[in-house]
Structure 1
């Protein structure tokens, strides 16, 4: 096991192990150094972390890949483990850039707790809930909900933590919940660097960059649990060549190959799992159900109703809506029957057209492609016999040359300087943009003349 030299006399005191199919053994702090302090175990056993056991890691893909029954809880433990490994490796270079800022133990625990809590704000069906409920109804995201929880009910536990797996904090040191909330923040909303710890900006790419403690775990875990082979992800080489230099997170040029393989593997995951045609078909059924279900549920603003949100999980939602089909309320009956069909894998749509690797330079943006096809198919409202699905993901930043707080610098040993060009050039050449266009029809619909028109639309010369 990795640890800081001379961290403590008894390396087993207060440390326990989880068995994990992806990482082997995951260390965690099971008891604090002082009786009045808290530990990782207290966070893990808190109602908010335990809630993640009841939220599936994958929303509709679990209906396609039978073994994909893993939860956000185990993913959070895996992310914590990877964050701990990065902490042990990064601390020497971080302390050279920022001497005397954080002790080794506090540095390690900051990264571990931030990773452990990065998904704490998720609702049922995870990102789908963000897109169809949290943001459109309340202007929230799961990251914003996570920050509310970290600065609210979890603050007291976080700020009583007094050690990491490798050692005890220095006298007077305290882990700030505001530091943790900053690191997990994403999106376009305000998320300023804490004034009392501006050095945290150097660590932000580990949580919202191109390779993060989050996506390094979910690529490995989702592929394993789905039974999808993605090829090697060289975590060891990425870890070895990542360091802090001149106060910035950097990757030695010799680590670029491992990074390229990882970005390619992640793109492959989207093609094979997240954008799988049957996964997307079930996503369409879920879209028809989830928003209206939450209206009937009477969901208030989760940020202002934490007690209700604590009880809202995949399992609680699904067990409730199963019973709605037997309700006296007609709206609940219709939704309940829809949920029963969804859970029984009844296919409301069938695939009638599919084109992958669509070129935006020829056909326009994903939004324009969707609008053009809806016009061709005469889709007006939800009653149309056709549905257009445009699945799009670019695993690169919008501007590889300027990535803001996601920037990872490349250390060029020939010149001894930090540069951005090699990473940007590599990202520019990689074929990692995913754009799949599919048309689904109601099972009994027979108008294939419209589909022929769609084929003609995609027969343009490049």
Structure 2
């Protein structure tokens, strides 16, 4: 009996863009790969769902959405007589599809607790190189573009810049799932206004208001969603839970954990010893490993680990205060002394419950400008081209300080 080949030219239904087409069989095979399927088990927004209950979408949703927007961008640029070869087109789809593949469980929390000294971008690159070996070198050009090393710079800018495809998807998607309408940008309009001049990715002058709205939406989403105080405190508590678990593991204390989480708790992982085996273990680590461990740790005999875990599971989070100025050391120490007395722990251990940090938000950096293409063919930085006075203000980073402590 003749074996039928599976249909690889699938269509996916996305709540934001409607039908998304998988362009070819290679892309289909990359999406089917276990490394990519892992993104289904990593939330796009960490603990933001403790504030916005709808924010349960995953990195998988986002990556597929980015690929869809990249298809639109390629169509628009070709229509404007910008030459993009089939090989370059495919490389763009692969690079944008895999740009976030190195994110760990709960996105940024792992980077600050149990996997140190190596960023998610570097891990993404390791995954891409491994996939390149498996797919007989077919990802070589995608890797070059992802690293920003390809000679046609505008292709690299589509992957990573201040107005890249990644931002065009996550702002619209996060706005949709959180219900925060201030972030709802017109990604279609922005892509329709894209052009290339002197190897720069530019926006035509008639798209200037869409860019202004995009920058303001980004600023509002940061303060309202990404840096929301409840999300901030939950993420920092998660970092502290993992740090405490790592401390206990180093002392040889027995901890419940899945095999992949155990590997990262009981081994010191850094850039220098991030081997092929480490990558394999990382590819099996996702939100479910971390959540199941935290649920189990609520019963652990270590007071700090169990208390922090209980607080996260029951959403009884620490109180948070935010202000413009740095908190006085004296004020922080007073809080720590109170906590050490209340929980009968040392003041050193109280740092897990009382901590202060700074957050900053810069909506636009003139160091890597978004260029507006004038009718006369000149390029102007959006901050200078815009008649919006507040765009100039958006180039200044806004810094705030926060302190967390038990209620």
Which of 272, 282, 287 is the matching residue for 1:314? 287
The equivalent of 2:344 in structure 1 is none
The equivalent of 1:156 in structure 2 is 134
For residues 20-73 of structure 1, give each alpha carbon's deviation from its aligned partner in whole angstroms, at most 9, with x where no partner exists: 1111111114x63xxxxxx21111110101111111111121222212111111
Which of 216, 229, 232 is the matching residue for 1:264? 216
- Give distance in 1, aligned partners of 2:309 and 2:81: 50
Which of 346, 353, 373 is the matching residue for 2:328? 373
- Give distance in 2, aligned partners of 1:151 and 1:375: 49
For residues 397-441 of structure 1, give each alpha carbon's deviation from its aligned partner in whole angstroms, at most 9, with x where no partner exists: 2xx1x42xxx4432121x322233755766423488544444443
The equivalent of 1:119 in structure 2 is 100
In structure 2, relative to structure 1, the CA distance for the partners of 1:439 and 1:422 (3 Å cut) is: closer
Structure-to-structure mapping, 1:41-60, within 5 angstroms: 41-60=28-47
Contact 1:219 1:266 in 2 (8 A): yes
1:411 to 2:373 alignment: yes
- Give distance in 1, aligned partners of 2:50 and 2:230: 9
In structure 2, relative to structure 1, the CA distance for the partners of 1:261 and 1:340 (3 Å cut) is: same
Contact 1:270 1:434 in 2 (8 A): no
The alpha carbon displacement at 1:298 in A equals 1.7
1:144 to 2:144 alignment: no
Which of 107, 129, 133 is the matching residue for 2:110? 129
In structure 2, relative to structure 1, the CA distance for the partners of 1:108 and 1:121 (3 Å cut) is: same
Alignment partner of 1:209: what SS?
A: coil
Contact 1:146 1:181 in 2 (8 A): no
- Give distance in 2, aligned partners of 1:375 and 1:203: 51
The equivalent of 2:59 in structure 1 is 72
Contact 2:8 2:28 in 1 (8 A): no
The equivalent of 1:108 in structure 2 is 89
Q: CA RMSD in A?
A: 2.8
Structure-to-structure mapping, 1:332-411, within 5 angstroms: 334-347=304-317, 349-351=318-320, 353-355=321-323, 358=324, 369-370=325-326, 372-378=327-333, 383=350, 386-397=354-365, 400=366, 402-403=367-368, 407-411=369-373
In structure 2, relative to structure 1, the CA distance for the partners of 1:227 and 1:416 (3 Å cut) is: closer
Which of 428, 432, 437 is the matching residue for 2:392? 428
Which of 188, 195, 198 is the matching residue for 2:151? 198
1:15 to 2:41 alignment: no
Structure 2: runs of 5+ lacking an equivalent: 1-6, 250-264, 337-347
The equivalent of 1:301 in structure 2 is 269
Structure-to-structure mapping, 1:146-185, within 5 angstroms: 146-157=124-135, 159=137, 175=138, 177-185=139-147
The equivalent of 1:163 in structure 2 is none
The alpha carbon displacement at 1:133 in A equals 3.9
Contact 2:182 2:217 in 1 (8 A): yes
Contact 1:143 1:184 in 2 (8 A): no
How many matched pairs? Answer: 364
Contact 2:294 2:309 in 1 (8 A): yes
- Give distance in 1, aligned partners of 2:59 and 2:382: 36
For residues 120-143 of structure 1, give each alpha carbon's deviation from its aligned partner in whole angstroms, at most 9, with x where no partner exists: 011112123224443xx2x21111
The equivalent of 2:229 in structure 1 is 277
The alpha carbon displacement at 1:346 in A equals 1.9
In structure 2, relative to structure 1, the CA distance for the partners of 1:24 and 1:325 (3 Å cut) is: same
Contact 1:54 1:314 in 2 (8 A): yes
Q: Tell which deviates more after alignment, 62-71 or 87-96.
A: 87-96
What TM-score, normalized by structure 1, do the two folds share?
0.71
In structure 2, relative to structure 1, the CA distance for the partners of 1:221 and 1:434 (3 Å cut) is: farther
In structure 2, relative to structure 1, the CA distance for the partners of 1:309 and 1:377 (3 Å cut) is: closer
Contact 1:264 1:432 in 2 (8 A): no
Contact 1:325 1:334 in 2 (8 A): no
- Give distance in 1, aligned partners of 2:197 and 2:67: 23
The equivalent of 1:220 in structure 2 is 172
Q: Tell which deviates more after alignment, 263-272 or 338-347.
A: 338-347
- Give distance in 2, aligned partners of 1:412 and 1:205: 20
- Give distance in 2, aligned partners of 1:244 and 1:181: 22
In structure 2, relative to structure 1, the CA distance for the partners of 1:215 and 1:382 (3 Å cut) is: farther
Contact 2:163 2:370 in 1 (8 A): no
- Give distance in 1, aligned partners of 2:203 and 2:315: 45
Contact 1:122 1:142 in 2 (8 A): yes
